[in-house]
Amino acid sequence: MSKGRKSDTFRGDVSTLKEIQKQLQQLGGLSFVFTLDQFQQDMVTGYIYSEKHQRFGKAQFPQPDLIYNKLSTRKEETLPSFHHIKKVFQQQKKPFFNSQFFNKWQCYKALSKLKNLEPHLPKTWLFKDSTETLTLLNDRPLFAKPVQGKKGSGIFRLERNKENFLVQEKVKKKILTESHFIKWVSDHLSDHYILQEEITTLFIEDCKIDIRVHCSYYQGSYRLTGIGVRKGKKHSILTHIPNGGQLISYSSIEEKCSTTELIKVADLVGKGLSSQFGFVGEFSMDLGITKEGIPSIYEVNSKPMVFDEKNIQTKRIEHLVQLFVEL
């Protein structure tokens, strides 16, 4: 885990950590939380939750049998202490669970190598310059996304409309001449952005509909834990809850979405990413659904956030505990 702001504290979703510990103990296992500076070759100083005292306490533990990486920032994954722990576990052939954040461009390149995923991947380019962007916009609208972005931050929709250009951020739109658009591109985009073609996907009452699925490894393949549905604000390009989106039930769109395809895609994505980045125990995907019911992958996340749907989050923890025991 990441260190907290105060000494002897850590950052993380405490309710999830407590539930994982509780369920593992019921199965005869033990989990504890530690930060990068607490790992030593022969022992680890960490935190364990006390039901009696209703708080986390500090203790010393033997080196764990597996690590579930829940660091909060990409920067921490560049530190020597993190790479040391990874190396130790690789040498001992112990599971190091979700060893890194995904970069959108690297993730796309890895998945685009899989022919069976081709129908599910919008064409994507690493941003180069305004000239290429103008050329790409001749054929299709594009989404510009930060390669390391999250929660919809920094996403723009770009469209060419005769002699003018439309730029949209959330619900806010602006129309620009070509010269002003070129300046806008140079001011806002960089090689830390990807350009992703817009796919025509499901809308309800002029509101964009996306789905968010959680997937986890189980006995050689990847299974769906749950399917959440997000409905964006009217005319918004985003469906994230913090950006005004709302939860709707999967049953309301189930007949328009192929669950069979989602299951197939989850297994292909999980195996493809594990072959490129090391073992991926869990991940989530943000997808759109085409009019033919085909899932279109917008993004894959190696560090899924807590699901707003309590039933999915509960099942997620159960699947994680089963996987820890299996590993």
* pLDDT tens digits along 67-121: 999 988 889 999 999 999 999 998 999 998 888 888 899 999 999 999 899 999 9
> What's the farthest any 2 CA atoms get from each other in the chain?
69
3-state SS class at 126 = strand
Q: Cα(155)–Cα(137) distance, rounded to whole angstroms?
A: 16
Q: Cα(158)–Cα(48) distance, rounded to whole angstroms?
A: 49
Q: Cα(99)–Cα(97) distance, rounded to whole angstroms?
A: 6
To 10 degrees, the CA torsion angle through 279, 285, 289, 294?
0
Through-space distance between the first and last CA atoms of the chain, rounded to whole angstroms: 20
**Pair 47, 57: CB distance under 8 Å:** yes
Q: Identify the pLDDT of residue 244.
A: 75
Q: Identify the pLDDT of residue 303.
A: 86
Q: Identify the pLDDT of residue 185.
A: 96
**Pair 1, 35: CB distance under 8 Å:** yes
- Structure pTM? 0.89
Q: Identify the pLDDT of residue 97.
A: 82
Ranges of the chain with pLDDT below 70: 1, 5-7, 151-152
Q: Cα(304)–Cα(98) distance, rounded to whole angstroms?
A: 11
**Phi/psi of residue 268, each to 5°?**
-65, -45
